[in-house]
Structure 1
Amino acid sequence: MSIIFRFIKLDQKVYTVDEVRGILRIEGYTSQEFTDQVYNGKIISNQEIQRYQYPSLEKSFSDTVKALAGNPEHPPLYYLISRFWIDWLDHPVGARVLSALVSLFIFPALYWLCIELFESPLSGWIAIALVAVSPFYLMLAQEARQYSLWTVFILISSASLLRGLRTLSRNSWIIYTAAIALGLYTHLFFVFVLLTHGLYVLLTEKLKSKPTIFYLIASFCGCITFTPWIWVILSSSSRVKTTTSWVASFKIGLFKRFTYWQANLSSIFSDFNDPKINQLVSFAVLVLVLYAIYFLCRHAPKKVWLFVLLLIGSTALAQIIPDLIWGGRRSILSRYLVPSYLGVHLAVAYLFTQQLFRVQVKVSQQRLWRSIFAVLLSVGIMSCAASAQAKDWWKGSSSINLQVAPLINQAPQPLIISDSNLTFVLPLSYLLKPETQFQLFERSRLEEQNFQTELKNSVQKFKYVFLYSPSKQLLQLLEQMNQPSDYKTTVVVGQSQWFQDRNYLYRIQLNSAVDN
């Protein structure tokens, strides 16, 4: 079921702002290049907008590398591989297919880690069952982003580390070195996994022992391969600071932040995309997770519970502490906490293995835990079934397009006027019919006379004109141009939970047409 869920309706789901931005770079275009060519006040078709999301002969593999280097906060490995998949399938969905396929490698990698950590095949199978029906990992598997690949390297690096420390096998350390290098080139937050591994070796091995020496050599060799991209990051440090500033610019109270943490933790077992239902389930999940961690620490050997706690704590604390001190949204973005959630799944898998199959456990107690396990799997399956079928599942601001697009598609030969960011326009373009026309304006140039002339001519020329996510400046400009009152502006789709300071869609009609 898990495999089927991952591949259902991949091409029909709403594209997020992060996905379209990544696909733009995969195809060798920069955001500035797209803005310069499209946001010029000229009327272009939806097909022309979509051209920047599809393979093109004018853009080579080197253009993809340059585009990715312009935003080095996202290491290039996943996106470079995606280039081949999009070119092969001749469709942006190729990047999602890649994520779905890669996510399947999570299962054998997780099983290997459980064998090395718990020395129990049963723990491996239970962990696989829990992750297979996790709506969180399903969501990662269906997005054109690097998080499934990151998950695979977290698991492989951890398993090979434990095997290398236990056997001193050369092959294990070679695998560990490669996993480190590939993990760093997949996501910068892989450094927190390295922190977990370093602390674990420091706390469990003697300083000058062979396992420690082999670990240091493998870590150094793996990290040194990442120095070229470190140089790219340092060369574009001001750009990186600008593009990542949104993560640190978020202020909420501690209680609200705790609510986010609890909801995100619950989502790795159950998620019905409904805040009320999720809130009911989240407390039960929190109790289960806390008890699983307690049970692990009490019954498992030190080397086992220490690794799991470090895996959970290193990444989580690295996100939580800066948020509490300076503010930000790092710790409430669940995708940043993949290592922590893997640690939680390991703890819960250990709990169920011991309670279901340990000889010392009473029959009545085993029946209770079998019921809990069955309920947990059932809730996960129902969550995944609902998520796999839905076009929108926690897609953020792009979700509003499911309301916007049908209204625009009802109109024959509509024109969309907007000065909104490309990350709003591109997701919408996937949902519109080919004959839809766009007229896009760069916000900083709205005062230019030629822009105003183009805008006025369009309002008078087209019968069906829509304003999509306009800025206050664009609305004010249209109001100033409407002298005398030649046309009427009506709100069609209002505010959303993501942006409560703007309406998303307006309809502009000439007064003569309204009278008729």
Structure 2
Amino acid sequence: MINRQSVLAKYFPPIWLRFLIIILLILGIFFRFAYLDRKLYSHDEAYTSLRISGYTKTEFVQKVFNGCVVAARDIQKYQQPNSEKGLIDTINSLAVEDAQHPPLYYVMVRFWMQCFGNSVATTRSLSAIISLLAFPGIYWLCLELFQSSITAWISVALLSISPFYVLYAQEAREFGLWMVTILLGSAALLRAIRLGSKQLWGVYAVTVALSLYTFLFSGFLAIAYGIYVFTIERFRFTKSVKAYLIATSAGFLAFVPWILTVIHSLSEIESTTTTAQSRQSVSVLVSGWISNISYLFADFWRYEPFFPDLNLPVLRWGRFLIPLILILVVYSFLFLYRQGGKRVWLFIFILSGLPALAIILSDLIIGGKLSLRPRYVIPCYVGIQLSVAYLLATQIISSKLIARKFWQLVMIVVISSGVISCAVSSQAETWWNKGSHFNPIIVRIINQANHPLLISSNYSFNIGDLMSLIHVLDEKVQMQLVIEPTIPNIPDSFSDVFLYNPSKIFRYELEKKYKLVDVFEYSRLWRLEHKSS
């Protein structure tokens, strides 16, 4: 084990590998910035824009869902910075209705949009730029953890073309920023432990605060770091333990204002997370966890009817990669445990295990499906990627020719799967992380009408979905939105009247006067026609 670690530390990637990694890095940057506005601006992203505008959801509903006919484009003011609301209103909108999302990312995006505009591509471009910081972040973390440049470079290569990280690099949400704070915080912690510098512990304290102000689940991460520090110090109150406690306390102290906000908004948080509280069977959870892990390395087989412009059924064979990826991940952890040294495997095991375990136990005991949302367990995926990178880096320089060739082939397959996944996903209008998969088709149908009216209500998830549609509906589209059980007075001056995702009661009332015609199979869209016609 010592010899293996020594070899890794001294080994520098050969020219062919460095050339390959540079190409993959360029591809990774390209995929992060290419076609930024092609995919559907999702329900969640629309709420990001609502918070940036400074309006609350309550204000938006009161002002727009009033039964009046209004142009879709006139509602854009609730999806961008405006003169009526300032930065304090953005923070207040989060504090009042969405305190589980701390304000750091939203403040950054508001300033970004004020400087560079409010198009979908511009809004998402900040996440893409932030995601580039993950490259030096994971390189630094690998140097601190493995003392191996080849492992660091392979980690950069895997991260650059990971379909999972590329997806979130193109989304107007805080999870790309959270990824960066995780990497920088982990690297700063390891370096502070190794060198014991007060300045480094100060840097770690700053990363704790930034991570907490990015996403609340960073609290689990701080606990995981604490377990690691106490364990490697053999549960003695050493200088490192003392420094960790002081630095972490300083980070949490800086976060106290938002902690108080969260406590004050617990009832609101509970009401907005009800969709994640339905109990799932263990088999459904396990199947979801396995699929989510596979998306780290390959994600090109999700051909579904809701991808009308991505007719690639030939790639369905990729599903057979899921068990192979699982085997690779499990073996990498076993290999890491046997060969990596205690300080290395313990860090990765705790980083991967504790934050994920906290969410998994919540789903198993209380009920829910938070663990099926991969963005919530990003620390676990970071650990998985580090483990696989260590396995590949160690084995592709094996002294045994057969082993070396086999693992080089495995690395080529993993890299090729990532590149194919990113290429396929880049051409799609929607993907598994977007939701509302039929909306691109719905938008095309509405936009093709001569003088369309879109009717909907505040039922279910309609508020977020309608805000999403606003970004792609033509200027000619008019909207008439109501708060149920109000039934709108529909004008007769429109060529086509569409109804979007009504409740059963809403449909029943409209069917007394109109005939509802399904626009297409599996749709949430109907066309209203007078029964007399």
TM-score, length-scaled by structure 1: 0.92
Residue 498 of structure 1 is matched in structure 2 by none
1: CA distance, partners of 2:157 / 2:29: 12
SS in 1 for 2:437: helix
Mapping for residues 40-119 of structure 1, pairs under 5 Å: 40-70=66-96, 71-93=98-120, 94-119=122-147
Deviation at 1:430, TM superposition (A): 1.8
Deviation at 1:208, TM superposition (A): 2.0
Residue 473 of structure 1 is matched in structure 2 by 505
Residue 366 of structure 1 is matched in structure 2 by 404
1: CA distance, partners of 2:151 / 2:261: 42
1: CA distance, partners of 2:372 / 2:290: 9
1:441 aligns with 2:482: yes
How many positions carry a matched residue from both structures? 489
Deviation at 1:90, TM superposition (A): 1.8
2: CA distance, partners of 1:337 / 1:252: 18
Residue 253 of structure 2 is matched in structure 1 by 224
Residues 352 and 403 from structure 1, CA distance in 2 versus in 1: closer, same or farther, beyond 3 angstroms?
Answer: same
Mapping for residues 196-211 of structure 1, pairs under 5 Å: 196-206=224-234, 207-211=236-240
| Cα contact 2:163–2:421 (8 A) shared by 1 | yes
Deviation at 1:92, TM superposition (A): 4.4
Which residue, out of 297, 301, 306, partners 2:337?
297
Mapping for residues 336-415 of structure 1, pairs under 5 Å: 336-358=376-398, 361-415=399-453
1:234 aligns with 2:263: yes
Structure 2 residue identity aligned to 1:211: S
1:14 aligns with 2:40: yes
Percent identical residues = 40
| Cα contact 1:5–1:388 (8 A) shared by 2 | yes
TM-score, length-scaled by structure 2: 0.89
Which residue, out of 60, 66, 72, partners 1:34?
60
Residue 313 of structure 2 is matched in structure 1 by none
SS in 2 for 1:509: strand
Decide which moves more: 18-27 or 270-279.
270-279
Residue 309 of structure 2 is matched in structure 1 by none
CA deviation vs aligned residue, 1:147-197 (integer Å, no higher than 9, x gap):
111011111111111111111022211110000000000000111111210
Deviation at 1:511, TM superposition (A): 4.9
CA deviation vs aligned residue, 1:298-326 (integer Å, no higher than 9, x gap):
01110100000001111121111111122
Residues 347 and 397 from structure 1, CA distance in 2 versus in 1: closer, same or farther, beyond 3 angstroms?
Answer: closer
| Cα contact 1:356–1:366 (8 A) shared by 2 | yes
SS in 2 for 1:15: coil
Structure 2 residue identity aligned to 1:162: L
Deviation at 1:396, TM superposition (A): 4.2
SS in 2 for 1:123: helix
SS in 1 for 2:215: coil
Which residue, out of 152, 167, 171, partners 1:124?
152
Mapping for residues 451-462 of structure 1, pairs under 5 Å: 452=487, 454-455=488-489, 457-458=490-491, 460-462=492-494
CA deviation vs aligned residue, 1:239-285 (integer Å, no higher than 9, x gap):
11111222222x33222221111100000000015175453111000
Residue 172 of structure 1 is matched in structure 2 by 200
CA deviation vs aligned residue, 1:196-241 (integer Å, no higher than 9, x gap):
1010011101522111111111111111111000111111121111
Structure 2 residue identity aligned to 1:45: A
SS in 2 for 1:144: coil
2: CA distance, partners of 1:296 / 1:344: 11
Structure 2 residue identity aligned to 1:493: F
2: CA distance, partners of 1:371 / 1:242: 49
1: CA distance, partners of 2:301 / 2:106: 28
Deviation at 1:333, TM superposition (A): 0.7
| Cα contact 1:411–1:464 (8 A) shared by 2 | yes
1: CA distance, partners of 2:515 / 2:219: 55
SS in 2 for 1:73: coil
1:509 aligns with 2:494: no
Structure 2 residue identity aligned to 1:473: I
Deviation at 1:389, TM superposition (A): 2.4
Structure 1 residue identity aligned to 2:242: I
1: CA distance, partners of 2:332 / 2:519: 50
| Cα contact 1:392–1:399 (8 A) shared by 2 | yes
| Cα contact 1:14–1:395 (8 A) shared by 2 | no
Residue 454 of structure 2 is matched in structure 1 by 416
Decide which moves more: 84-93 or 61-70.
84-93
Deviation at 1:51, TM superposition (A): 2.3
2: CA distance, partners of 1:106 / 1:129: 11
1: CA distance, partners of 2:317 / 2:257: 47
1: CA distance, partners of 2:319 / 2:361: 25
